[in-house]
């Protein structure tokens, strides 16, 4: 009987709250709640080199808006381009790495149809001048092959495009720009009427479309 009472007292002592509070408990497990969201451009020092992502660029404009008449004045122009974020000058020399905060050169490819059935496929280089954190000026030079369709007789299957853009760069690296461009064959033939085109661009980071972020 004494043994039974001793066993009951021992069991109650071990399971009582007072006794349990003196025992060592394991450390709680915490869930890491740090977000995996990549930093935005505004998180960085504005004087640091700018990391530009690859861009998908879509544009629309009006051809030969500067001409007073003619059968080909009212032609709508459309663009779709891929602009790589790779900065080319540092590949030539490490000296140019310091330029990346202000000036970068990037390769691009694109195609440019119009409302008269012409099609222009080209590739080249675009130079970005970061005027400020948001304002950006881009000068690009490209060359490619021209299919006339029912459009202007440009005089050559090989055509060149020079283009200037001025626009706004948002914190998520989306850009909107106004553009003016000139297309001609640089006098490869005697027929070289050229085209002047004015329009707008929307540049969207590839990662924002396919990966959910702008880097």
Higher pLDDT among residues 83 and 41, named by residue? 83
**All structural domains of the chain:** 54-210 (2.40.160.20)
- Are 172 and 40 within 8 A, CB to CB? yes
Task: Please give the share of the chain, as a percent, with pLDDT higher than 70.
Answer: 73
Structure tokens at 180: 């003016």
- Under a CB-based contact definition with an 8 Å cutoff, are residues 122 and 116 in contact? no
Tens of pLDDT, residues 126-150: 999 999 989 999 999 999 999 999 9
Please say if the pLDDT value at position 21 is more than 90.
no
Please tell me the pTM assigned to this model: 0.76
Q: Report percent pLDDT > 90 for the chain.
A: 61
């Amino acid at each position: 009987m004494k043994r039974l009472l001793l066993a009951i007292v021992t069991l109650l002592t071990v399971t009582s709250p007072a006794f349990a509070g003196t025992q060592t408990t394991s450390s709680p497990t915490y869930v890491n709640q740090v977000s995996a969201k990549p930093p935005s451009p505004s998180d960085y020092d504005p004087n640091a080199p700018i990391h530009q992502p690859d861009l998908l660029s879509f544009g629309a404009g009006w051809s030969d808006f500067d001409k007073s008449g003619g059968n080909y004045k009212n032609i709508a122009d459309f663009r779709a381009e891929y602009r790589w974020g790779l900065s080319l000058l540092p590949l030539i020399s490490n000296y140019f790495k310091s330029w990346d905060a202000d000036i970068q050169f990037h390769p691009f490819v694109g195609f440019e149809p119009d409302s008269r059935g012409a099609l222009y496929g080209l590739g080249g280089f675009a130079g970005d001048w970061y005027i400020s954190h948001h304002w950006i000026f881009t000068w690009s030079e490209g060359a490619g092959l021209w299919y006339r369709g029912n459009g202007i007789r440009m005089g050559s299957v090989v055509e060149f495009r020079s283009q200037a853009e001025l626009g706004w760069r948002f914190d998520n690296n989306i850009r909107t720009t106004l553009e003016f461009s000139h297309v001609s064959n640089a006098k490869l033939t005697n027929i070289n009427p050229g085209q002047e085109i004015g329009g707008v661009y929307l540049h969207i980071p590839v990662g924002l479309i396919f990966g959910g972020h702008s880097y």
